[in-house]
Amino acid sequence: MEAKKEKTIHEQGVKARKVMLEIKDLYKSFGDNHVLNGFNLKLYQGENLVVMGKSGSGKSVMIKCLVGLMQPDKGFISVMGQEIKTLDRETLDALRSDIGFLFQGSALYDSMTVRENLEFPLRRHTEKVGVVTDTKPLVLEALESVGLAQTMNLMPAELSGGMKRRVALARALILRPKIILYDEPTSGLDPITAKEIIELMRHIQKKYDTSSLIITHDVDCARVISERMILLVDGINYAEGSYEELITSKDSKVEAFFKK
């Protein structure tokens, strides 16, 4: 396996940065279905890291373990220096306020306006932002950052798919997270809208210096957005490197990701 545990020039460069998130030897099984078999990952400060894997490869399971929604069978997970499994509920909730999450289906509350959707995390995490009596300036700033200030009083049903994704990103940004997790950010979008979302992700990363972990099966998204990529195969971080490094690999399992 020539690509397995590959050490790249780019990887050496990012190692000079602070580690924001680390996963070591993560295992998770469901009965006889061994989903994660010793998966490893490091996300560095200010980095856009893409994890690619086929459907059912364990990407979503890894994310759920990462934010404490699912318990791994064994392994080590550290977020900004704090080991997840050692945290009580209150401390874990506080840590989550520094993690923005863009869900695959946007996950907006259908019964709430756009403004109310963005106000929700402000009211949920008062320990971080305090009691905000006038939320409008914060909501407007977040919506302006994704180019949708005019949608504040609309309902999710009045938005297109791309607009919903932007509003969901604004909601993720409103607490000024240090890390953003993107779960299939371009899934279900037409090519033009997908390109707009990718450009917005790049803009957000530069403006706020966020560290981004992007789960995707979209090769074009990975090519444009990633500084570094991890290919999840057979439950492990099978290959790592930049897009340019991986696309030239002669390993058949790596080649399978890039064949049209």
Are residues 39 and 63 part of one domain?
yes
Edge-to-edge strand ranges of the sheet holding 33-44: 33-44, 19-30, 74-79, 82-83
Largest Cα–Cα separation, the chain: 58
Would you tell me how many other CB atoms lie within 10 Å of the CB of residue 232?
A: 22
Predicted local distance difference test score (pLDDT) of residue 189: 85
Of the candidate ranges 124-128, 154-158, 250-254, the one whose mean pLDDT is the lowest: 124-128
Predicted local distance difference test score (pLDDT) of residue 12: 56
Q: Which of 144, 176, 208 finishes a domain?
A: 176
Of the candidate ranges 7-21, 42-56, 79-93, 123-137, the one whose mean pLDDT is the lowest: 7-21
- Binned at pLDDT 50, 70 and 90, residue 14 comes out as low
Q: Which of 176, 199, 223 finishes a domain?
A: 176
Average pLDDT over residues 187-204: 88
Task: List, in sequence order, every residue forming a beta bridge with 153; answer none if it has no partner.
Answer: none
Predicted local distance difference test score (pLDDT) of residue 133: 76
Residue 211 lies in a domain: yes
* pLDDT tens, residue by residue, 65-99: 988 888 999 999 999 999 998 988 888 888 888 89
Average pLDDT over residues 148-153: 93
Q: How far is CA 145 from the centre of its chain?
A: 18
Are residues 121 and 172 part of one domain?
yes
pTM: 0.85
The mean pLDDT of the chain is 87
The domain containing residue 156 runs over which residues? 108-176
Are residues 248 and 203 part of one domain?
yes
Q: Which of 176, 208, 236 finishes a domain?
A: 176
Are residues 191 and 171 part of one domain?
no
Are residues 186 and 226 part of one domain?
yes
Pairing of strands 228-233, 211-216: unpaired
Element (H, E) at 148: none
- Binned at pLDDT 50, 70 and 90, residue 240 comes out as very high
Domain count, the chain: 2
Dist CA 256 CA 238 (whole Å): 13
Which token pair is 160? 């297109």
Dist CA 249 CA 128 (whole Å): 45
Asked if the model's pLDDT at residue 1 lies above 50, the reply is no
Are residues 243 and 187 part of one domain?
yes
3-class state of residue 165 by DSSP: helix
Dist CA 245 CA 169 (whole Å): 30
3-class state of residue 95 by DSSP: helix
Q: Please say whether the dihedral angle defined by the alpha carbons of residues 103, 109, 113 and 117, taken in this order, is positive or negative.
A: negative
* pLDDT tens, residue by residue, 197-219: 898 888 888 888 899 999 998 89
